Structure 1
Amino acid sequence: MTGQEWAEILVPFISFSALIALLGLLLLYKYKKKQLFLQMVERSLTQQVPLSPETIREIANQFFSANRDLRKGIFLLVLALAILAFSYLADFPQRGNLDLNDALNGIAMLPGLLGLAFLLLAWLDRRRPG
């Protein structure tokens, strides 16, 4: 294999591996944050510190709120638009059956549809009474 062929294999592999590692780190951060919240509630309960349901509800709303869904939705839509813009601006040569621009457009559908789903969840949560 020549250096060019290795580069054609390694560059996408490294790019997607970095994306997966970043996603994994974000999920680990969210898990640790929720775990700390639950430990704080558990410590309060074992020390007989009274926690009102309103206090727990307010703290939990910081983790599960419509604003967070709205932010996630907007972020994912911007990510999808960035992938689409990159696909539009980069002119990849078509070799064989796969057009890389079409593949990138397909990849952009996932964060785009997830973003729309989060925006719909935020909208439905704001319309919910209570």
Structure 2
Amino acid sequence: DIDTLAGNLSGGNQQKVLLEKWFLTRPRVLLLNDVTRGVDIATKHQIYETIVALARQGIGVIWYSTDARELVGVAHRVLVMLRGSVAAELVGDDVRPDMIVRAAVMGSREGADGSAGMGDR
């Protein structure tokens, strides 16, 4: 119902309303912080699809997430931060939960193939 107040919606639907509000401003860059935290699985997938579609339209997306698995399905490039610095840059097939967690815990600056990561360039 279009007359329903956003505060009366489920948490997932409230998040979708908030995102749609920002999408309507036609941003050049979206900064997202744990955007799907507390959201049900079906709504998470709707949010992922929307964000991927926006990226395909040329909108830049910077997505902070504490869920490594979440990033795997949507990101083609991940920067892993550790104590305020870039610990690793993962691209393509290296964007995997195990690689993200390893870099976050160990501060690895190498890709899966042993090539230099971003911090070593």
TM-score, shorter chain, exceeding 0.5: no
Higher RCO, 1 vs 2 (CA within 8 Å, ≥6 residues apart): 1
Instruction: Report which of the two structures shows the higher radius of gyration computed on alpha carbons.
Output: 1
Higher helix share: 1
Structure with more of its chain in strand, by fraction: 2
TM-score by length of 2: 0.27
